[in-house]
Amino acid sequence: MPGPAREQGEGDGGRRDTPMDPRSGRPGGAGSWRFGVPALVLGVVGYAAGLYPIQLPQASAAFNAPYEAVWQATVTSLGAAQPVLLDRPSGRIVTGQFTFSLPVGGGGMGFTMNPLLVSMEIHVRRTPEGSTAVEVRSTIYDAQQYGAWPGPGGPNSPEGDLFARIADRLGKR
């Protein structure tokens, strides 16, 4: 027999197993929507906030060109990645956060884009072999799809995109 917190239903054999909110007369118990949904949202946001930032492994590329030429090509290849630090003597460049669109998926489903909010720390340095190396470490601050990260330095990564632009500016690969 239903108790005072339950309501008789029509067409369901006279029973309703969902507790009723006595104030609103709606299923769900006292204030379940009022307290449950915000708590769930805060829990998810709090959980996601602990996942970032994510620092990707370092990627590097060597260019058979003088340091000054590679430095200039690197600075002019930043595109949407606005520099917040440019230190030519040390070869250090730090970018602000920018959006990089990573294609994910494939097969019968097609590709979708996973926008990543990233920044890069870049070091341009001379190598003992006479070439110039560009080393990049990217940090991801947010992504639409958690866990869909680019391979460091790969063709669909912020580093790989930067390396390709530098090579195009130098006219070499």
Q: Structural domains in the chain?
A: 1-50 (no CATH), 54-170 (3.30.530.50)
119 to 40, 85, 130, 159, 168: CA distances (angstroms): 30, 12, 29, 10, 22
- Contact between 29 and 4 under an 8 Å Cβ cutoff? The reply is no
> How high is the pLDDT of residue 49?
58
Per-residue confidence (pLDDT) for residue 122, from 0 to 100: 98
pLDDT of residue 104: 78
Local structure of 84: helix, strand or coil: strand
Question: What pLDDT band is residue 158 in, cutting at 50, 70 and 90?
Answer: very high
- DSSP letter for 150, please: P
> Using an 8 Å Cβ cutoff, are 148 and 114 in contact?
yes
Instruction: Name residues whose C-beta falls within 8 Å of residue 46's C-beta, 6 or more positions apart in sequence.
Output: none
Residue 55 CB partners (closer than 8 Å, separation 6+): 137, 138, 139, 140
Mapping DSSP to helix (H, G, I), strand (E, B) and coil, where does residue 51 land? coil
The half-sphere exposure of 12 on its side-chain side, counting CA atoms within 13 A, is 8
Which residue is it, tokens 């606005």?
A: 82
More confident: 146 or 33: 146
Q: Please compute, for residue 88, the number of CA atoms within 13 A of its CA located in the half-sphere on the CB side.
A: 8
pLDDT classification of 43: cutoffs 50, 70, 90: very low
pLDDT at 33: 44
The DSSP code for 171 is: T
Residue 85 has pLDDT above 70, yes or no: yes
Residue 27 has pLDDT above 60, yes or no: no
Task: Determine if the pTM surpasses 0.75.
Answer: no
Q: Going by DSSP bridges, is the β-strand pair 59-63/132-143 parallel, antiparallel, or unpaired?
A: antiparallel
